Structure 1
Amino acid sequence: AAETLGLDVAAEADRLRAEIWATWEIDPHVLALVDRVRERYRVAMLTNATDAMEDLLAERYGVADRFEAIVNSARVGVAKPDPAIYAELLRRLRLEAGEVMFIDDRAENVAAAASLGMHVAWFLGAAELERQLEPYLRSSAARAARDGAPS
């Protein structure tokens, strides 16, 4: 049907993606929270984005280096909430599911991660996420102080 209307679906999809990415901004409160978490934990990104995500994070936003790994469904060929993409994340990080805190804004992705044994937080905004993570950040600081590590 698109062909009979003269519509180039692929070109239109590319145009729409470019338009969306042109207006997309990183929430500075979320970025500050990522930096706070990085002080104590390893941080990775698992995303259902286009294959341009890594370039955008590196070149436009300058934040790609904040993530130890970026697992992108466009490059892996499987998307959240498929268990295979979570397995790929665990493989790259060399971690077990119970060693990971997974954060996402979609309930089905959070549920999938929880079913695999990951700790989870449902992203409902930066302030709420900080509240959910506070016990982990506090317990890590207490453990580091107890063990004589810098906090």
Structure 2
Amino acid sequence: MSPSPRSRLVILISGLSNCCFSESHLENEEQGKSRNEAENHQLRALEKQLKTLKLEKEDVYKDLADAREQLTTRSRELREVQVKRQRAVEEAQEVEDRYSQIRLQKLKLSRELRDREEEMEVVMEKVESLRQELCKADKSKME
């Protein structure tokens, strides 16, 4: 039995429909491949960017660690300088106090020296006076 014209027509339409479907399916597949390629390219670019950002992040963390280390070192140095400065201030104060004591002692000794010199002058005058009296007494005895 041969197929009826109607069934042949249905078969033909079905074939055409399948053919159109296949073409549109192929077009969709090509668009999908093209989209996949674009997405893959974009994904590779994003992965590359991610890798670059990770490297930059590591560099930033290294810089941060270095900066912290420098800050710690400089803080320690600053504390040491402050301690040395405080010691120098204390030492300068001690020297100034000692200088004041020595100055006062010098003034006291200068006064004592003047007093002794005055006493010495008085004694020398008495000695001279006694010498003169002795000379007079010796002259009187001789006469």
TM over 0.5: no
TM-score range, shorter chain: under 0.3
- The two structures have a TM-score, normalised by structure 2, of 0.20
Q: Which has the higher helix share?
A: 2
Rg comparison, structure with higher value:
2
Answer 1 or 2: higher relative contact order, Cα 8 Å, separation at least 6: 1
Question: Normalization by structure 1: what TM-score?
Answer: 0.19
Q: Which has the larger share of strand? A: 1
